[in-house]
Amino acid sequence: MQSNVRIHPSILNADHSKILSEIERVSKVSDFLHLDILDGKFAPNTSFSWEQAQHIISGSPIPVDAHLMVVDSDTQGPRYAEAGCKSVTVHVESTVDLKETIRNIKSNGARASLALKPATQIEKYIDFLNDVDMFLIMTVEPGFGGQSFMPEMMDKVSKTRDLIGNRPIWLQVDGGISKDTIQIARAAGADTFVAGSAVYKAEDPAEMMKLLRSLAEGTQPES
């Protein structure tokens, strides 16, 4: 989909028993699929096994954006790129060699992204501005869907936007994104939005995706 705004539905809170059908419900109104991988160590939750992830990656009709909340990002990042993800996000807090991991992800044909937990400062990672394709600013603590949006993270989003400048780097936010918060994040400078609970708890997930996009693009007045 061609737009300056991208919406990535997260399937963390979708029905895992029919996961490909759940993806299909939103595939025509989505840019990427957001695949949360939790190992229960980096954050206190687990999500999809490697085998389940491979099933999703190979079966998804839209490109997959893997968000790795794991302790061994240096190994897992390139592994998910090699498996066919078009974008792989690793956390700065769990990656030993960021430069090498970014290179290894890109060498397998994927976009490379760095994610920051709420307490992590963006200023520490300005040296990677010419290496990454996207920064992900977490607007909740990693681990669980359905958490409340943290508006205090908007200062960090704005700082990151300023640091990006004219570079072709996407700025993603993840956590608590809904019809009530997406315009707040957009105003702060985000252009790529992960929406999970808001989408899959809606009566019509595809229509909610359309609403979120129109709000972020400024084509739908707040009601």
One-letter amino acid identity for 128? F
Residue of 65, 133, 174, 191 with catalytic role: 174
Catalytic (active site) residue 97: no
Q: Are 221 and 41 in contact (CB under 8 A)?
A: no
Output Rg (C-alpha) for the chain, integer angstroms: 16
Residue of 36, 65, 133, 191 with catalytic role: 36
Helix (H) or strand (E) holding 73: helix 73-82
Taking every pair of Cα atoms in the chain, the longest distance, rounded to a whole number of angstroms, is 47
CB-side neighbour CA atoms (13 Å) of 56: 32
Catalytic (active site) residue 131: no
∠ Cα 145 150 151 (to 5°)? 145
Distances (CA, A) of 12 to 38, 48, 153, 182: 10, 9, 22, 19
The residues assigned a catalytic role are 36, 174
